[in-house]
Amino acid sequence: MSANELAAADEVCDERINFNVATSNQTENGDITTVSLVESERAAYAFIPQTPIRSTDAHLEEFSEALRTVAKTLRRVAEGKAAAQAEAAEWKRKYELEMASKEHKHYNVIKGCSNFRKDKLEQPTSQLALETAPIDQTSCCGNHGICSHQILQDECPGPKRKPDEKIIGRKAPFRLLWGCDGDKNGQHKRDFVSFEKGDIKTAERSNKQILLKWESPPQTVLLVTKPNSNSVLALCAEMVSGTFRKELLAEDSYFSFIQTCNNDQEAKTLHTKIDLIVTLGGDGTVLWAASLFIGPVPPVVAFSLGSLGFMTPFPSEQYRECLSNVLKQPFSITLRSRLQCHVIRDAAKEQVENEQPILVLNEVTIDRGMSSYLTYLECYCDSSYVTRVQGDGLIISTTSGSTAYSLAAGGSMVHPQVPGILFTPICPHSLSFRPLILPEYVTLCVQVPLNSRGHAWASFDGKGRIQLGRGDALICSISPWPVPTACLADSTTDFLRSIHDGLHWNLRKSQSFDGPSA
């Protein structure tokens, strides 16, 4: 070896790290031998693969580049899938708008409902009065309206009839339509709130009047009259012998003309047989007619034969023309909410006293009765504390009942189709206790505290008073079954006419004008 090669070898040896550590190996007989550093290095280099470090780095770079390529591909696939879903949703929305628009233009064409009723006519009459057929979305009204099979379905089943018992007849189908004032987009004004691309907006609300159109003439009409009035009885006899006999028997003469309910069990299943309700009287007659139905309520045509007439828009002198319009043409209706109430006694925790809820159309009143002490009540709204009522009492009212006791106690007049519950104190012992209007979806709980000096009394639409002792509670919420009342013109026009004519609201003489003429 030359001198230059020896010098290079010495430099390489100098660059190596001298660990000065002897490697210990254990032999088969357990003895430990010591191997020199030079021998250990030679053994290590013999087993280490002679792969350059630069070659390993190249493989790692190639592998990482492949991973990045896969990640980019997956991201493109996800973006393409999201774009396809968005496009499909947009096409679906356009298709639904187009179908709704076509249905709105041809809403008077009777399709599936008439076929459904035709098939049912071939069955025995006893089955027609009690059975509730399943809804076929393809043959019935579907998503383009609200069908009577959905609104007046039998949610309160009663006892089955015997084969020899009397039956009244079949239910007449109808459809609820949305007045759109010439709207051409086919939305039917059913969408209240939309959410698109992070923006929330409310839909146009120029007119949300609901229309009712019979798809076949009603077969069974319930007449409710004001008691102890000879003029009302005479009008009822004239109406039955004239208009209804002609209209009801023109379609099918099989049905018996007049039948009466013999017991309370038949009254509980009235909603399965009655197509239309006609009341002759005042608002009290409408309240009593609504109380007959613990479930769905048929449309109500109320003729004014009372004093104020907030719910009775039809004049009795024009009953022939009014009934003809209701039976043959689409007419506006007002969906009046009802309160369903339960009483919970302190002696029986979490158990309601009445099996069926008490339904009220106007208001629930909680007062002190004959007690000389102030009414002391604790009020909760969806388990949130509201206030303590100390005074003569409390009124929990529907918007239809806003012009009744609530108005006399200082509450506001509210349009009957505004969704809400009125919370009005009666003579509160506090100057700052003002009435409230709460949303319709809440549940109110009014409890008599254990430290109350006296008891309280609850009345429902002015009748059926129940005593509430210490610890007892009254639970109130909006019933899912409203009372549909027919309108003479439309809901808003009838409401304004009633407060102008009945209450003489804001009636005063106009100021005289003494200034120069223009």
The pLDDT of residue 408: 95
Residue 172 lies in a domain: no
| DSSP per-residue letters across 368-404 | -TT-SSPEEEEEEETTEEEEEEEEEEEEEEESGGGGT
Residue 91 lies in a domain: no
The pLDDT of residue 194: 54
Nearest Cα to 437, choosing from 413, 472, 463, 409?
A: 413
**CA–CA dist 145, 178 (Å, integer):** 8
Residue 398 lies in a domain: yes
CB-neighbour burial class of residue 499 (10 A; exposed 0-12, middle 13-18, buried 19+): middle
Take residue 206 and report the two structure tokens written for it.
Answer: 């120029």
Instruction: Write the Ramachandran bin of 95: left for phi over 0, alpha for psi from -120 to 50, otherwise beta.
Output: alpha
CB-neighbour burial class of residue 470 (10 A; exposed 0-12, middle 13-18, buried 19+): middle
Q: Which residues pair with 221 in a beta bridge?
A: 276
Question: Per the confidence metrics, is the pTM higher than 0.85?
Answer: no
Active-site residue identified among 283, 367, 472, 494: 283
The pLDDT of residue 59: 72
At 499-512, the pLDDT tens digits run 999 899 999 888 88
The pLDDT of residue 353: 60
At 353-410, the pLDDT tens digits run 656 889 999 999 999 999 899 999 999 999 899 999 999 999 999 999 999 999 999 9
The pLDDT of residue 365: 97
pLDDT band at 175 (very low <50, low <70, confident <90, very high): confident
Q: In the block, which residue shows the tokens 């979305």?
A: 137
**CA–CA dist 364, 474 (Å, integer):** 10
Query: β-strand 463-468 against 473-478: which pairing, if any?
Result: unpaired
At 274-323, the pLDDT tens digits run 899 999 999 999 999 999 998 899 999 999 988 888 999 999 999 999 99
Res. 254: pLDDT tops 80: no
Res. 170: pLDDT tops 90: no
Range of the domain at 461: 338-481
pLDDT band at 206 (very low <50, low <70, confident <90, very high): low
Tally of domains in the chain: 1
Residue 421 lies in a domain: yes
Res. 348: pLDDT tops 50: yes
Q: Which residues pair with 388 in a beta bridge?
A: 378
Residue 187 lies in a domain: no
Q: Is 283 a catalytic residue?
A: yes
Count of CB atoms situated within 10 Å of the CB of 234: 10
Res. 96: pLDDT tops 80: no
Residue 283 lies in a domain: no
Residue 117, C-beta contacts closer than 8 angstroms, at least 6 positions apart: 170, 173, 215, 216
At 476-486, the pLDDT tens digits run 999 999 999 99
Q: What does the mean pLDDT of the chain come to?
A: 74
Residue 175 lies in a domain: no
Residue 375 lies in a domain: yes
H/E stretch holding 284 reads helix 283-291
CATH of the domain at 459: 2.60.200.30
Least confident of 267-271, 331-335, 436-440, 442-446: 267-271
Least confident of 21-35, 99-113, 349-363: 21-35
Count of CB atoms situated within 10 Å of the CB of 271: 21
Percentage of the chain with pLDDT > 90? 38
Res. 113: pLDDT tops 70: no
At 142-165, the pLDDT tens digits run 444 444 444 333 344 445 555 555
